[in-house]
A = this chain, B = another copy of it.
């Protein structure tokens, strides 16, 4: 319908120039479903704490594809066979790996569409696009699903050392300014190799990998699980829980058509219709609605909305042990009394946060010695940190309306 001002090179402050390798990739990027990612923030409500963290899923997807191009070049130079068709497949797979994200990425996942996670939606959308692109995404989908014979290609899309993580860690560190999380993807990629269809790391890269594993830990505790943005995300989820309840009870809330669909609908429609509505959503539907909902007569909804719009966030604490149910009940009661509402549970929330810095059993990282033998990294004689990163760390996050601090 429309015509296009073809942009073949993107200027990325993180990786420098990102070039679009071919027409198919260009057309995917240009597709409305993909353009929509421009309006979805990569890091949800992290910007409440780190104001620079406004970068989009669109930007991340381009960055991951750029790193994939580098990984392919590197592996080919090391005589790993990757055909042009496979290259194209793995580039499309990484480009589309997050296409199923909705507004605020992980935050509203499983809230707007219940019981459906973004990986699954990504796959559905890839299949829809594959229809539009006459089957050109066949191989990409196979790789994405792990059904292609060269398994290392799937590992490049999804594993401990995939291009997704290399991009998002670097990018999120860059935009938040959390320098402890800075990694060097170029360096890591330059040490990748393939042995027996397994993605491995040349031994000279062992310290880059150990640094990467520690950087990821720092990002988990300083950014992804930051207690303040975590609280904001809890409140956002609660606001939507409330909005859905009100809608399904017959109240009309301000919303775009697509958002209204998800507030009212109980998922009786078929999946195609749901996905069609889903791909119309982005962060702006949510922000615009929250702004209007500030003035709604339901105290719970309006209070939660105002907190988010004005960034007046709840008390938020980290503990080594969980809070008892009695204590939680007590905090709920305080909120109830304070706001004059019937259900305080919207304003008190506990979660446990468990991070395994390096999960050796689930997705081990192999170091390839000069004699081509493989060793799991924490068992290499060269390692200086990995064996210390095997144990999970578990903490508990509590957020609640602190009625005493209220203004």
Contacts and interface: CB of A to CB of B under 8 A. Distances in A.
Contacts of A385: 214, 217, 388
B2 A306 contact: yes
Contact of A180 (B4, B10, B207, B221): B207
A211 interface: yes
A20 B325 CA distance: 37
A51 B47 contact: no
A288 B256 contact: yes
Interface string A59-71: 1001000000000
A35 B284 contact: no
Interface string A287-303: 11001100000000001
Report which residue of A2, A58, A280 has the largest number of chain B beta carbons within 10 angstroms of its beta carbon: A2
A292 B4 contact: no
Given A52-B59, A407-B2, A284 B292 contact: no
B50 A307 contact: no
Contact of A5 (B30, B284, B315): B315
Nearest to A208: B180
Contacts of A307: 2
Contacts of A5: 228, 231, 312-316
B179 A184 contact: yes
Nearest to A282: B287
A129 to B, nearest CB: 15
Interface stretch (A142-150, A170-178, A192-200): A170-178
A175 to B, nearest CB: 6
Contacts of A30: 310-312
A14 interface: yes
A245 interface: no
Contacts of A405: 3-4
Contacts of A58: 51
Contacts of A381: 320
A71 to B, nearest CB: 15
A242 interface: no
A314 B5 CA distance: 7
Contact of A309 (B32, B62, B177, B254): B32
Contact of A3 (B204, B384, B407): B407
A12 B52 contact: yes
A102 to B, nearest CB: 14
A118 interface: no
Please give me the 8 A-B residue pairs with the lowest Cβ-Cβ distance, nearest first: A2-B312, A388-B388, A13-B177, A284-B287, A288-B288, A54-B54, A3-B405, A3-B406
10 contacts: A4-B312, A5-B231, A11-B177, A17-B187, A32-B309, A207-B222, A210-B218, A218-B384, A384-B393, A388-B388
